[in-house]
């Protein structure tokens, strides 16, 4: 699975995305990028982080978490 996480400096949600990947024990490539460059690559992207898996756009933190849940890569903890 080829996961790319597009991030920007100082982004709280980007840090949360990296923690989500660690929780799922998945390797990922972090790509630091500016807003203009991200929209040039993915016109539908309007915030950070932005994730692609195997070249397919997934979306931001929430969309990626939903994808990981659907694929069984993480589970919901009931405390």
In tens, the pLDDT along 8-35 reads 989 999 999 999 999 999 999 999 987 7
**pLDDT of amino acid 43:** 84
Kindly list the structural domains of the chain, giving each domain's residue range(s) and its CATH number in brackets, ordered by start: 3-70 (3.40.30.10)
Whether 2 and 56 have beta carbons less than 8 Å apart is answered as no
Asked whether the bond before 49 is cis by omega within 30 degrees of 0, the reply is: yes
Q: Is the pTM of this model over 0.95?
A: no
Strands 29-32 and 50-53: unpaired
- Rounded Cα distance between 20 and 46, Å, is 20
In tens, the pLDDT along 21-78 reads 999 999 999 999 877 788 888 888 888 999 999 999 999 999 999 999 999 999 877 5
Residue 47 tokens, joined: 């915030």
- Rounded Cα distance between 20 and 26, Å, is 9
């Amino acid at each position: 699975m080829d996961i790319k996480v597009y991030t920007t400096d100082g982004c709280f949600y980007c840090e949360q995305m990296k923690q989500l990947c660690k929780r799922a024990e998945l390797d990922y490539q972090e790509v630091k990028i500016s807003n203009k460059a991200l929209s040039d690559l993915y016109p539908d992207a309007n915030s950070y982080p932005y994730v692609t898996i195997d070249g397919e756009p997934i979306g931001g933190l929430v969309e990626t978490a939903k994808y990981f849940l659907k694929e069984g890569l993480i589970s919901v903890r009931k405390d």
